[in-house]
Amino acid sequence: MTQQKLLDAAIQAFSENGFKGTSTRGIAERAGVHHPLITYHFKNKDLLWRAAADRIFKEFNSSLIKAMSEVPEVDPKARAEVFIRTYVRCAHSQPAMHKIILRESSYPSDRLDWLVATHLKPLFELVVDQLKVLQELGIAPAGSPALLYNMIRVSAGGLLALGLEIKGTSGIDLEDQRELDELADMIIRVFLPGDSAPS
């Protein structure tokens, strides 16, 4: 239980202030436990970060994959639409994941290399293959599928990670389910403009 409380607190803290900006004492305080327990359960700050990142990425990826596996057989465009709506929902319920990506990508580090190899690249390759099919069917716009993937990803996860700023500049509250649906609609309208091949 202490481990879980520490991980929850660590995910929250690291997503807000990044690795260097977060103190392990602050994490222990958030979790309501004494700070030497971090050493006992996770050895040091670096391994605590890895355990926290592992947890949030596995949670995100598995809820994404689980939701997609439950989608009945439908045409490619409908399936892509469901994927985008699911991705937006997952990104909203676990905002820490994209925040951690954004925080760790600003300068080279072993943590970033590990993140890319362990969690980012597998999902990237999975989705890019699907995107290529959508492009061939004329559903997704032409051009580099890798760039397209990243544009979709930041339009969903990146935008949600910027929630506070967007609330401030535009008044739009992305915590509101209606705004969230509108975002997903917009992403679909923009990135999947083509009709499903009527064959």
Binding site for DNA (CB under 7 A): 1-2, 22-26, 33-37, 39-41, 43-46
Q: Which residues of the shown chain bind its own copies in the complex (CB under 8 A)?
A: 15-22, 99, 101-108, 112-113, 115-117, 120-121, 124, 128, 141-144, 146-151, 154-155, 158-159, 161-166, 168-172, 182-183, 185-187, 189-191, 193
Choose the one of its own copies, DNA, none that binds residue 46, judging by a C-beta under 5 to 8 angstroms depending on kind.
DNA
Choose the one of its own copies, DNA, none that binds residue 151, judging by a C-beta under 5 to 8 angstroms depending on kind.
its own copies
∠ Cα 66 46 57 (to 5°): 10
Query: Cα–Cα distance between 105 and 182 in angstroms, integer?
Result: 28
How many helices (H) and strands (E) are present in the chain, helices listed first?
12, 0
Cβ 173 to its own copies shortest distance, Å? 11
∠ Cα 1 62 191 (to 5°): 135
Choose the one of DNA, its own copies, none that binds residue 137, judging by a C-beta under 5 to 8 angstroms depending on kind.
none
- Residues 104 and 115: beta-carbon distance below 8 Å: yes
CA distances from 33 to 2, 50, 96, 109 (A): 7, 20, 22, 29
Cβ 17 to its own copies shortest distance, Å? 5
